[in-house]
Structure 1
Amino acid sequence: MDLMGGMQEAMRRVLVARGVESETVNVGGQAVHHYALEGQGKGPPVVLVHGLGGSANGFGRTFFGLAKRFSRVLAPDLPGHGFSGEFCGGPTCVQSQFDVLRAYFEEVVKTPALVVGNSLGGAMAVNLASEHSAWVKALALVAPAGAELTPQALAALLGHFAVKSSADVRALTRKLFHQPPLGALLLAPALRRLYTTPTVQALAADALATQASIAPQAVRDLKMPVLFLWGGSERLLPPEILAWYRQHLPAQAEVHVVEGFGHVPQMERPDAFVSHLVGFADRARL
Structure 2
Amino acid sequence: MIRWLVRGVLVLLLAAVVAAAGFRIAASLRERQEAEAVLPEGGRLVETGAGRIFVMEAGEGPAVLFVHGTAAWSGLWRPTLEAVAARGYRAIAFDLPPFGFSERATDGDYARRSQAARILALVQALEVRPVLVAHSFGAAPGVEAVMAEPAAFAGLVVVDGAVGLDAPARGLPALLQPMWLREAALSLTATNPLLTRQLLASLLHVKAAATPDIAELLQRPMVRRGSTRAFAEWLPSLLVPDPDARSARPEGWAALPAGAELIWGDRDSVTPLAQGEALAALAPEAHLQVLEGVGHIPQIEAPEPFRAALLAALDRIVAR
The yes-or-no answer on 1:276 pairing with 2:309 is: yes
Equivalent position SS for 2:263: strand
TM-score (structure 1 length as normaliser): 0.77
**Contact 2:52/2:102 (8 A) holds in 1:** yes
The 2-side partners of 1:123 and 1:94 are apart by 7
Equivalent position SS for 1:59: helix
The yes-or-no answer on 1:119 pairing with 2:136 is: yes
Gaps in structure 2 of 5+ consecutive residues: 1-28, 177-181
After superposition, the Cα gap between the structure-2 partners of 1:97 and 1:176, relative to the gap in structure 1 and judged at 3 Å, is: same
Q: Of 136, 142, 148, which aligns to 1:131? A: 148
Per the alignment, residue 266 of structure 1 pairs with 299
The 1-side partners of 2:76 and 2:214 are apart by 16
Q: Of 31, 37, 46, which aligns to 1:25? A: 46
Give the counterpart letter for 2:136 in structure 1: S
The 1-side partners of 2:141 and 2:213 are apart by 27
The 2-side partners of 1:190 and 1:63 are apart by 20
Identity of aligned pairs, percent? 22
Equivalent position SS for 2:55: strand
Per the alignment, residue 208 of structure 1 pairs with 239
Q: Of 183, 188, 201, which aligns to 1:164? A: 188
Q: Any idea what the Cα deviations from partners look like across 1:106-126, whole Å, max 9, x if unmatched?
A: 111x23221100012212221
**Contact 1:49/1:118 (8 A) holds in 2:** yes
Structural RMSD (CA):
3.7
The 2-side partners of 1:246 and 1:262 are apart by 18
Name the count of aligned residue pairs. Answer: 267
The yes-or-no answer on 1:175 pairing with 2:196 is: no
1:78-89 equivalences in 2 (<5 Å)? 78-87=96-105, 89=107
**Contact 1:49/1:122 (8 A) holds in 2:** yes
**Contact 1:175/1:236 (8 A) holds in 2:** no
TM-score (structure 2 length as normaliser): 0.70
**Contact 2:110/2:233 (8 A) holds in 1:** no
After superposition, the Cα gap between the structure-2 partners of 1:198 and 1:94, relative to the gap in structure 1 and judged at 3 Å, is: farther
The 2-side partners of 1:27 and 1:163 are apart by 30
1:10-89 equivalences in 2 (<5 Å)? 12-13=40-41, 16=42, 22-39=43-60, 44-87=62-105, 89=107
Q: Any idea what the Cα deviations from partners look like across 1:143-165, whole Å, max 9, x if unmatched?
A: 1111223458x98xx99x95724
Q: Give the Å deviation of 1:67.
A: 0.6
Which structure has the highest strand share of the two? Answer: 1
Per the alignment, residue 19 of structure 1 pairs with none
Segment of structure 1 superposing worse, 200-209 or 222-231: 200-209
**Contact 2:289/2:309 (8 A) holds in 1:** no
Equivalent position SS for 1:79: coil
The 2-side partners of 1:225 and 1:11 are apart by 37
Q: Give the Å deviation of 1:190.
A: 5.4
The 1-side partners of 2:264 and 2:299 are apart by 12
Q: Give the Å deviation of 1:247.
A: 4.1
Q: Give the Å deviation of 1:80.
A: 1.9
Q: Any idea what the Cα deviations from partners look like across 1:176-220, whole Å, max 9, x if unmatched?
A: 223222427987x958959x6333332221343444552211111
**Contact 1:38/1:72 (8 A) holds in 2:** yes
Segment of structure 1 superposing worse, 218-227 or 263-272: 263-272
Equivalent position SS for 1:70: coil
The 2-side partners of 1:82 and 1:88 are apart by 16
**Contact 2:139/2:162 (8 A) holds in 1:** yes
Give the counterpart letter for 1:48 in structure 2: F
Per the alignment, residue 245 of structure 1 pairs with 279
After superposition, the Cα gap between the structure-2 partners of 1:203 and 1:243, relative to the gap in structure 1 and judged at 3 Å, is: farther
The 2-side partners of 1:245 and 1:81 are apart by 26
Gaps in structure 1 of 5+ consecutive residues: 17-21
